[in-house]
Amino acid sequence: MEKSLFFKWLAPLFSRTITSWSEILNGKDGDEPKYLFKQYLGKVFSIDLTWASLNGNGRSVAADVVALDASVPLKRRASISTVKGDVPKIGMKKRKSEREMQDLQTLQATNQNGSRTSQILAKLFADPLAVTRGVYERLEFMFLEGLSTGFTETNDDNNEGVSIRIDYGVVDKNVAIIKWTNPSSNPINDLTALIDARSANGYGSTYMFMDRFAFNNFRNKQSVKDLYSASIGYNGANAPTPNLEQVNNALTNNGMPQIIMVDRSVNIEKNGIITAVKPWATGAVVITDTLDLGDVVWSDLVEKNNPSKEVLYASADDYILVSTWHTNDPFSELVSSQALALPVINNVNGITILDSDNSEGPDVDAGVDKNATGATTTQTGTATGKNGRTIASQLWTIISSPAGATPTLSNATTLTVGIAAMSVNGEYVLQLAATDSDGNVSADQVTITRTGV
Query: Are residues 415 and 332 part of one domain?
Result: no
User: What pLDDT is recorded for position 206?
Assistant: 96
Helices (H) and strands (E) in the chain, counts: 10, 26
pLDDT averages per 10-residue partition of the chain, 453 residues: 85 85 62 80 90 61 65 53 75 87 88 87 88 92 94 80 83 80 86 91 94 91 94 88 95 95 89 87 93 94 91 92 88 90 91 83 88 94 90 92 92 96 93 85 87 85
Q: What type of residue sits at position 73? A: P
- Quick one: 13 and 92 in the same domain? yes
Residue 328 sits in the same domain as residue 381: no
Does residue 90 share a domain with residue 24? yes
User: In the prediction, which pLDDT does 81 show?
Assistant: 47
Q: Print the domain residue range for 450.
A: 360-453
Report how far residue 258's alpha carbon sits from residue 289's, in angstroms, rounded to the nearest whole number: 10
Nearest one of 170, 163, 180, 178 to 149, comparing CA atoms: 170
DSSP state string for 349-368: GG-EEEES--TTSPEEE---
Our count of domains for the chain comes to 2
CA 308 vs CA 95, 96, 281: distances in Å: 19, 20, 42
Q: Which helix (H) or strand (E) holds 157?
A: none
Alpha helices in 298-363, H assignment, sequence order? 302-305
* CATH number of the domain that residue 313 is part of: 3.15.30
Domain end among 322, 346, 370: 346
Q: 3-class SS at 246? A: helix
Same domain for 133 and 35:
yes
Q: What confidence score (pLDDT) does residue 75 get? A: 52
Q: Answer whether 357's CB lies under 8 Å from 283's CB.
A: yes
Q: Are residues 91 and 132 in the same domain?
A: yes
| Per-residue pLDDT reduced to its tens digit, 350-377 | 999 998 876 677 888 899 999 999 999 9
Report the CATH number at residue 430: 2.60.40.10
What tens digit of pLDDT does each residue of 2-27 get?
888 888 888 888 888 888 877 766 55
448/334 same-domain check: no
- 336 and 372 in a single domain? The answer is no
Domain assignment present for 404:
yes
- Residue 434 inside a domain? The answer is yes
Q: Is residue 99 part of a domain?
A: yes
Q: What is the pLDDT of residue 383?
A: 94
Domain membership of residue 436 (yes or no) is yes
| Helix%, strand%, coil% for the chain, nearest 5 | 25, 35, 40
Q: What is the pLDDT of residues 169-196, one digit of tens each?
A: 887 778 877 778 777 789 999 999 999 9
> β-strand 382-384 against 426-436: which pairing, if any?
unpaired
Whether residue 160 sits in one domain with residue 43: yes
Asked if the structure places residue 205 within a domain, the reply is no
Instruction: Give the predicted TM-score (pTM) of the model.
Output: 0.76
The per-residue pLDDT for 183 is: 74
> For residue 306, with 0-12 CB atoms within 10 Å meaning exposed, 13-18 middle and 19 or more buried, which class applies?
exposed
